[in-house]
Structure 1
Amino acid sequence: MERRHFLRASVLGVSTVAFSGTLWQGAALAAPAQNATGPYGPLQAADANGIRLPAGFTSHVIARSGQVVPGTSYTWHDAPDGGACFADGNGWIYVSNSEINPGGGASAIRFGSDGDVTSAYRILSGTRTNCAGGKTPWNTWLSCEEVSRGYVYETDPFGGDAVRRAAMGRFKHEAAAADPVRGVVYLTEDESNGRLYRFIPATWGDLSSGALQVLVAGSATSGSFTWANVPDPDGSPTATRNQVPGSKSFYGGEGCHYADDTVWFTTKGDNRVWQLDLTDDTYELAYDDSLVSPGTPPLTGVDNVTGSAYGDLYVAEDGGDMEICLITPDDKISPFLRVNGQSSSEITGPAFTPAGDRLYFSSQRGTSGSSSGGITYCVTGPFRT
């Protein structure tokens, strides 16, 4: 599905556009997203795990912090955060960061074709506050340190050695999203005046060297943008976000997702989801809680974001109502799930299996409100693909 065509047509006032074999007709809809009934219907009563889901969906607990992952001898890490899924023969692997300091790192759980756990293991150790990250097209996981002058680490979900990628810059890293069309990786920065970056490796598939650039644009919520080189990616003595005049400030960069010539990223300080149209170098808001009408904004505390094969965006909340909200290609937003009884936690690491029929995520601090109380879940059901 090419979601970007609908979004661009909406901006231009075109009333019909085709994608995924469906013809959307009617009045042009424009971002930012507005309240609507979700494609799966309303949330049902909480299940045995305290999770409210639409009819036809089921949740399962996969792992708990400080406890052995069932079916393995591996103890699951504290404070599970950003995650992704990787194909593994007839099964798949789910990787998850650990947002603690010191310790940090990342772990992986391997699943068979039936969804049963077959093994679990560590893929990164000795790092700090590994928050979000991103999957590469060559099947590695970029684990990002959310600390001042933090690093990006390239890890192997299949169990190989992890490598520090200093060329990708030293700043308070949050998330990463790979763009195979342009051969770049987009990077968010979790600062109140953070920036959006892209890393252009000298050779696509090799992140050991390259150029770090920052997005340059005006102060408005929409417009055109360019990229400029960051003179000193090491960020000392001058922070990377302060090196390029005219670079655009974002209020607490969080999740980042690329698909179909579009980048979506979230900013927690103002509860926004931004989108970059890479075909014409323009940006606009995909969601802003202050612009929702009618009713109460469903999404606050915006954090991690991922996309489904259909083109729906799934945005996790840090706090809020402990929901994962869904934004459809026609700019409608609704809660997809809600976790009850865990108000001192946040939802992290949403990721679909390669087949798109299972969604993994974590409650970072679970019912205890402590980093040692994290819970990792799987949701199955009739996802749109």
Structure 2
Amino acid sequence: MVSLDRRSFLATTGGALASGVALNTLGAHAAWAAAGCAPADPGRIGYGELRRTAARNTGEELLALPAGFSYVVLGRTGTPMDDGTLTPIAHDGMAAFPGTRRHTARLIRNHEVRTPPGSPTGRVHVPGSARYDELGVGGTTTLEVDLRGGEVVRQFVSLNGTIVNCAGGRMFGNRGWLTCEETTAGPAQGWQRKHGYIFEVPLDGPRPGRPAASMPLTAMGRFSHEAVAVDPRTGYVYETEDDSGKPNGFYRYRPRDPRNLAAGGVLEMLKIKGRDGYDCREGQRMGARLPVEWVRVDDPDPDLENGAPTCAQQGLAKGGAKFNRLEGCWWGDGSVFFNSTSGGDAKNGDPPNADGFVEGYGQVWQYVPGRRGGGTLVLVYESPGRRALDSPDNLTFTPRGGIVLCEDDASDADADPHPLAPGLANVNRLIGLDPRGGEPFEFAVNISDDSEFAGACFSPDGSVLFVNNLGSTAAADPPGRTYAIRGPWGRGPL
């Protein structure tokens, strides 16, 4: 564990420090898993045994947390916002930025709404605003939060006119949020416009009643986007793809101008050097270093409606590497870390994908850029089974050198009950990785419903962990919620 003063943390890009410690954590965790160890007594690692805990502001028992930790509920689905709209459904990816007032943080939060075109159910919508698709149901909301008491100072829609806004990442220079559509739907599915793009949500500009104009960055690719991470030196944007049931790619966008992504650039897919179609989904050795090259995606905005090859098909045709369900993505220590939610050799029991691949419990990868554009790919962790880690989605590295992984247990075959959540068949957790021993530990359990955790991020001063409970993506119940968790962080590795 490392110590960190407030000034050091504020000087970083949202907690992208202590990453050397974080990398050591992943390495220790990989060694622990490779040795075939089982999870230790939960009372002896992490922050100790968890207990059902009521929210300070609502009294509801929604989370199980270690002793000494508390939380408040923010931005629950249906809560009135300052622009006159109700908080939408499906709370997903998120980032925390310095607030506009002292002792505040500003959250930009995605809403992965999956209702039909124009549906009013939980829609992200401000009438009369500039939006890409008039029938769009997704988008982002912004919350200003007082870090001392956990109260919401203001909240409003900051982008609308998009659909299925899943995750994203910080813009170059921390100027805002890149929000990603996890779909390639279009007019054939009833929408007015084609979808499958990345959009910018600037930090400055959107305000109650005046969301940012939603303009797709088509050169960055049309595919089922999940998350992005930006190299703060070059401005290159690394992108993950989550298209279930088929091989996915890991992409790089090299913009002409990092501060103007709409000015165009080159989209590429990762390829293992000298190994066409290398399959990263299984049969991998943790710690092995795979040399990387990049192949160009010639048509980043394919006309899928008329049979054009997808971005993944274009990259795979040139020998690109295969992954399965790439989701969370994070930059630090000069590297990109990203999750393959269902990669790995330990199988979860779901039916095979179309190409015969049988899904696993998850992998964590690291890409280290090379000086001449190549680089190295390393599998730093692979889950040996659901008890250790089941389907990692979003991830974040903490200001004290720990790692938090959000579970999205999507397996239909492998029930995942938990003694703290009676009545739920598939329970999702926040899993911490401990740099002191490499063992995974439960930090939080969603005891309210079976939806995933998402959008974990720390406040700029490192005092509060914000995280979302997705809720339903098509109905108001179960609701989406944002949690603000406080506690004795220095007592453990997070």
Contact 1:81 1:364 in 2 (8 A): yes
5 Å-filtered alignment, 1:125-136, equals: 125-136=160-171
Supply the distance in 1 between the matched residues of 2:146 and 2:261 (Cα, whole angstroms).
Answer: 30
1:1-385 matches, within 5 Å, as 1-4=17-20, 7=23, 29=28, 31=30, 34=33, 35=39, 40-48=46-54, 49-68=61-80, 74-89=85-100, 90=102, 91-101=104-114, 102=117, 103-112=137-146, 114=148, 115-136=150-171, 137-148=173-184, 150-160=196-206, 161-162=212-213, 163-191=215-243, 192-208=246-262, 209-217=264-272, 218-220=278-280, 221=284, 222=288, 223-236=290-303, 237-244=308-315, 245-270=318-343, 271-278=362-369, 281-290=375-384, 297-319=387-409, 321-329=427-435, 331-343=438-450, 345-365=451-471, 373-384=479-490
Shift of 1:286: 2.6
SS of 1:122's equivalent? Answer: strand
- Residues 256-283 of structure 1 show CA distances to partners (whole Å, capped at 9, x for unaligned) of 1111112111122221121223358222
Counterparts of 2:99 and 2:199 in 1: how far apart (Å)?
21
Contact 1:40/1:55, CA 8 A, preserved across alignment = no
Residue pair 1:86, 1:139 contacting (<8 A) in 2 also = no
- Matched residue SS, 2:401: coil
Secondary structure in structure 2 of the residue aligned to 1:365: coil
- Give per-residue Cα distances to partners, 1:112-154, cap 9 Å, x unaligned: 3534211101111111111111112332111100002501000
> Based on CA coordinates, which of the two structures has the bigger radius of gyration?
2
Q: CA deviation at 1:216?
A: 0.5
Q: How far is the alpha carbon of 1:310 from its aligned partner?
A: 2.4
Q: Partner amino acid for 1:286?
A: V
Aligned residues: CA RMSD: 2.7
CA contact (8 A) 2:429 2:445 kept: yes
- Paired with 1:66 and 1:164, the residues of 2 have a C-alpha distance of 28
Give the direction of change, closer, same or farther, for the CA distance of 1:233–1:308 in structure 2 (3 Å limit). same
Q: Distance in 2 between matches of 1:256 and 1:212?
A: 17
Q: Which amino acid aligns with 1:31?
A: A
Deviation at 1:227, TM superposition (A): 1.6
Distance across 2 between alignment mates of 1:283 and 1:182: 19
Superposed displacement of residue 370, structure 1: 5.5
Secondary structure of the corresponding residue to residue 154 of structure 1: strand
Shift of 1:110: 0.8
The alpha-carbon deviation at position 239 of structure 1 amounts to 0.6
CA distance in 2, matches of 1:62, 1:5: 31
Spell out, residue by residue over 1:139-178, the C-alpha distance to the aligned partner (whole angstroms, 9 max, x if none): 2111100002501000124443243211111111111111
Q: CA deviation at 1:74?
A: 4.7
Contact kept in structure 2, 1:72 and 1:119, CA below 8 Å: no
Q: Which runs of 5+ in 2 are unaligned?
A: 1-16, 34-38, 55-60, 118-136, 185-194, 207-211, 273-277, 344-361, 410-425
SS in 1 for 2:50: coil
Structure 1 residues 135 and 10, CA, compared in 2 at 3 Å: closer, same or farther?
closer
Distance 2:32 2:279 in 1: 21
Residues in 1 aligned to 2:109 and 2:369: alpha-carbon distance in whole angstroms: 29
State the shift of 1:203 in Å: 1.3
Q: Is the 8 A contact 2:165 2:179 kept in 1?
A: yes
Cα distance change, pair 283–155 in 1 and its aligned pair in 2 (3 A): same
Deviation at 1:55, TM superposition (A): 2.2
Q: Is the 8 A contact 2:63 2:448 kept in 1?
A: no
Q: Which secondary structure does the structure 1 equivalent of 2:219 belong to?
A: helix
Task: Provide the identity percentage.
Answer: 30
Q: For residues 375 and 113 of structure 1, do their structure 2 counterparts lie closer, same or farther at Cα, with a shift above 3 Å needed? A: closer
| Larger CA deviation: 373-382 vs 323-332 | 323-332
Measured in 2, the distance between the counterparts of 1:334 and 1:10 equals 13
Higher relative contact order (CA 8 A, sep 6+): 2
SS at match of 1:246: coil
- Structure with the higher strand share, 1 or 2: 1
For residue 301 of structure 1, report the CA deviation from its aligned partner: 2.1
- Distance change >3 Å, CA 8–CA 279, structure 1 → 2: farther
Task: Compute the displacement of 1:369 (Å).
Answer: 8.1
2:231 & 2:444 partners in 1: Cα distance?
29
Q: Which runs of 5+ in 1 are unaligned?
A: 12-28
Residues 225, 110 of structure 1: alpha-carbon distance in 2 compared, 3 angstrom cutoff: same
SS at structure 2 position matched to 1:53: strand
- Report the secondary structure of 1:373's partner residue: coil
Residue 32 of structure 1 contacts residue 285 of structure 1 at CA under 8 Å; is this kept in 2?
A: no
CA distance in 2 between partners of 1:206 and 1:255 (Å): 24
Q: Which segment is superposed worse, 326-335 or 76-85?
A: 326-335
Q: Matches of 1:340 and 1:146 in 2, distance apart?
A: 27
TM-score by length of 1: 0.85
Check conservation: 1:7, 1:31, Cα contact below 8 A.
no
SS of the residue 1:125 aligns to: strand
Offset of residue 97 of structure 1: 0.8
Secondary structure (helix, strand or coil) at the match of 1:298 reads: coil
Deviation at 1:72, TM superposition (A): 8.3
> For residues 35-93 of structure 1, what are the alpha-carbon distances to aligned partners after superposition, in whole Å with 9 as ceiling and x for unaligned?
45676422321111331112221111112112225x88552111111111111242211
Task: Please report the TM-score for the alignment, with normalisation by the length of structure 2.
Answer: 0.67
Which residue type is aligned with residue 100 of structure 1?
Answer: V
